[in-house]
Amino acid sequence: MIHVLKEKRIVEESIIQAFREIGVATVYEASGRKGYINNGIKPAAHGNRICGPAYTVQCAPGDNLMLHKALQRAQPGAVIVATVGDAFDYGYWGGLMATAAVARGIAGLAIDGCIRDSEEIARMGFPVFCRGFSIRGTTKSTLGLINYPINFGGMTIFPGDLIMGDEDGMVVVRAQECAEVLEKSRARVAFEEEKAKQLKAGISSVELNKLEPVFEQLGLLEE
């Protein structure tokens, strides 16, 4: 078996850059409410945001060997997306690895497990999404897989898919759907900006969203 496949870049950089200006919740709604990633995987520090093509890594439980290989092979702009076999409570990633990632131009880490050295990583500005924090050390003795599909936070992530995360959560957009979802996301932003103008002008959200018939059908009583 080939353990490390070549990285595939399918999404154009201009499209990725455009997505960086749009909130994750907007992208999720615009994509038809697809791509939701379990919200147990959260930003490691306030303000963390990731957006880039997924560089997928399958680690053995309690072992971070393949994350070191990913740091060696991933190209600038990639987001390392890693699974750890449900053995969440190890510190798979630390300050030295983040230092290497910054030097390599890696766009961020999303790991379905824990990290450590969180304050140091936050100070250097490297964005991480993770399950939490753990000082528990890992081994470096078991091979895994790189650039294969993985099950991450309840979603299948394919190498090269667009992975996004901000304070609201995480979403994945299939590489082949990115151009379409971007167009729909931009349209949704414009639509919400128009709604905001009406709300600022004094219209109620009930009127704006035409909810009176819903209340009537449900039998709402008011005094």
The CATH number of the domain where 101 resides is what?
A: 3.50.30.40
Whether 91 shows a pLDDT value over 90: the answer reads: yes
**Is 8 domain-assigned?**
no
pLDDT at 21: 96
**Is 147 domain-assigned?**
yes
**Is 219 domain-assigned?**
no
Tens digit of each residue's pLDDT (9 = 90 or more) over 105-152 = 999 999 999 999 999 999 999 999 999 999 999 999 999 999 999 999
pLDDT at 1: 87
- Percent of the chain, pLDDT > 70? 100
Classify 11 as helix, strand or coil.
coil
Mean pLDDT of 31-53: 97
User: How many folded domains does the chain comprise?
Assistant: 1
DSSP for 95-144, please give it: HHHHHHHHHHT--EEEESSEES-HHHHHHHT--EEESEE-----B-----
State the pairing for strand pair 50-58/162-166: antiparallel
Mean pLDDT in the chain?
A: 96
**Is 223 domain-assigned?**
no
Tens digit of each residue's pLDDT (9 = 90 or more) over 184-195 = 999 999 999 999
**Is 205 domain-assigned?**
no
- Which domain does 64 fall in, by range? 13-183
CA distance 15 to 8: 16
* Nearest to 133, CA basis, from 33, 32, 42: 42
* Residue linked to tokens 């971007």: 182
**Is 200 domain-assigned?**
no
Whether 90 shows a pLDDT value over 90: the answer reads: yes
Whether 8 shows a pLDDT value over 90: the answer reads: no
**Is 129 domain-assigned?**
yes
**Is 83 domain-assigned?**
yes
CA distance 135 to 174: 34
Contact in structure between 174 and 161 (CB atoms under 8 Å): yes
pLDDT at 188: 96
pLDDT at 64: 98
